[in-house]
């Protein structure tokens, strides 16, 4: 099976064209050598794949006939990636949270809907000064109960 089709079939990449693009960018190697999309893979081959800024190593146990379900992937490949690579990935995720904590920054669609429910469906940009005073007076009255 072609290497791009194999990476797609074991769900390493979402589409076959993305897999082919990553191979063209020299992010996939077989036995230490950079490969082309047309390279045939067989059982026992070890692939090195650079994705998400870490280097995965997978050993091919079995070549599937077509795309397989996520639960069947461990039957076809063995993950030989260093534990340090996963630690690096975890540290990068923690670093990203440092710059923008959950709930900060631009509101999500859910946040916007919650805000609209809270304000009674009135868009804040359309409210004038009297509306705001009435709004806060109603909030204060409900807190006193």
**Residue 25 neighbours by CB under 8 Å, 6+ apart:** none
Q: Mark whether 18 and 84 lie in a shared domain.
A: yes
Asked if residues 75 and 61 have their Cβ atoms less than 8 Å apart, the reply is yes
Q: Mark whether 136 and 68 lie in a shared domain.
A: no
Q: Which residues pair with 30 in a beta bridge?
A: 33, 47
CA distances from 76 to 43, 114, 115, 145 (A): 9, 45, 48, 63
Q: Pairing between strand 54-60 and 46-51?
A: antiparallel
Q: What phi and psi, each to the nearest 5 degrees, are found at residue 100?
A: -145, 105
**More confidently predicted of 134 and 30:** 30
Quick one: pLDDT at residue 135?
67
pLDDT digits (tens, 9 = 90+) for 30-88: 888 888 988 898 898 899 999 888 888 999 998 888 898 989 888 888 888 888 888 88
Q: Mark whether 76 and 129 lie in a shared domain.
A: no
**CATH number, domain with residue 46:** 3.10.290.10
Q: Mark whether 80 and 29 lie in a shared domain.
A: yes
The reply to whether 104 falls in a domain is no
**Segments forming the whole domain that contains residue 127:** 109-144
pLDDT digits (tens, 9 = 90+) for 89-121: 888 777 655 555 666 677 778 778 887 887 776
Global pTM? 0.61
Q: Mark whether 86 and 116 lie in a shared domain.
A: no
The reply to whether 82 falls in a domain is yes
The DSSP output letter for 40 is: B
Closest CA to 55 of 10, 8, 89: 89
Helical segments of 29-128, H only: 73-76, 83-99, 109-119
Q: Mark whether 81 and 113 lie in a shared domain.
A: no
Q: Mark whether 114 and 56 lie in a shared domain.
A: no
- Domain count for the chain, please give it: 2
**Residue 126 neighbours by CB under 8 Å, 6+ apart:** none
């Amino acid at each position: 099976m072609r290497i791009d089709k194999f990476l797609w079939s074991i769900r390493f990449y979402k589409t076959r064209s993305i897999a082919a693009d990553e191979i063209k960018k020299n992010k996939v190697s077989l036995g230490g050598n950079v490969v082309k999309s047309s390279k045939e893979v067989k059982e026992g081959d070890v692939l090195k794949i650079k994705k998400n800024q870490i280097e995965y190593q997978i050993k091919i146990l079995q070549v599937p006939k077509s795309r397989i379900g996520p639960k069947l992937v461990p039957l076809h490949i063995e993950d030989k990636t260093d534990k340090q690579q996963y630690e690096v990935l975890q540290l990068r995720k923690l670093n990203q949270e440092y710059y923008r904590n959950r709930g900060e920054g631009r509101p999500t669609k859910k946040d916007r809907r919650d805000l609209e429910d809270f304000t009674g469906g009135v868009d804040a940009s359309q409210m004038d000064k009297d509306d705001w005073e009435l709004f806060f007076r109603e909030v204060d009255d409900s807190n006193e109960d």
